[in-house]
Amino acid sequence: MKKLIAAIAVATALSGCAQQTFEINRGIAEKPTQETKQSFFVNGIGQAKTINAAQVCGGADKVIRTEVQESGMNVFFRIITLGIYTPREARVYCAK
């Protein structure tokens, strides 16, 4: 019974993910112009990573959206390291 509960808890933790999307301008972009993997430590407390989306796209008017995602694999690494290592992915989508 304990193994079943542990398996369910692990499966639930691994299936969770979080994604924040910020729509800047209207437009359609299927693939990100820039995708960056970001590493945070100790659950990211007091840490910040900055990407200048206007610089990536060549102007603020060309930025369609930005995303930050914590995937299931990122959650897995966070759980295994007890929050010491917390990876995330950031994407910038630009108009062509």
Confidence grade of residue 33 (pLDDT, cut at 50, 70, 90): very high
pLDDT tens digits for range 35-81: 999 999 998 899 999 999 999 999 999 999 999 998 888 888 888 89
Token digits for 24? 């800047």
| Interatomic CA distance for residues 92 and 73, integer angstroms | 21
| Interatomic CA distance for residues 24 and 35, integer angstroms | 17
Strand 18-23 versus strand 85-94 pairing type? unpaired
pTM above 0.75, yes or no: yes
Decide: 22 and 28 in contact? Cβ < 8 Å: no
| Interatomic CA distance for residues 54 and 36, integer angstroms | 15
pLDDT tens digits for range 4-31: 888 877 776 666 678 899 999 988 888 9
- Among all chains, which residue has been given the structure tokens 């630009």? 94
Strand partners, 39: 87
Which pLDDT belongs to residue 5? Answer: 82
Q: Between residues 6 and 90, which one has the greater pLDDT?
A: 90
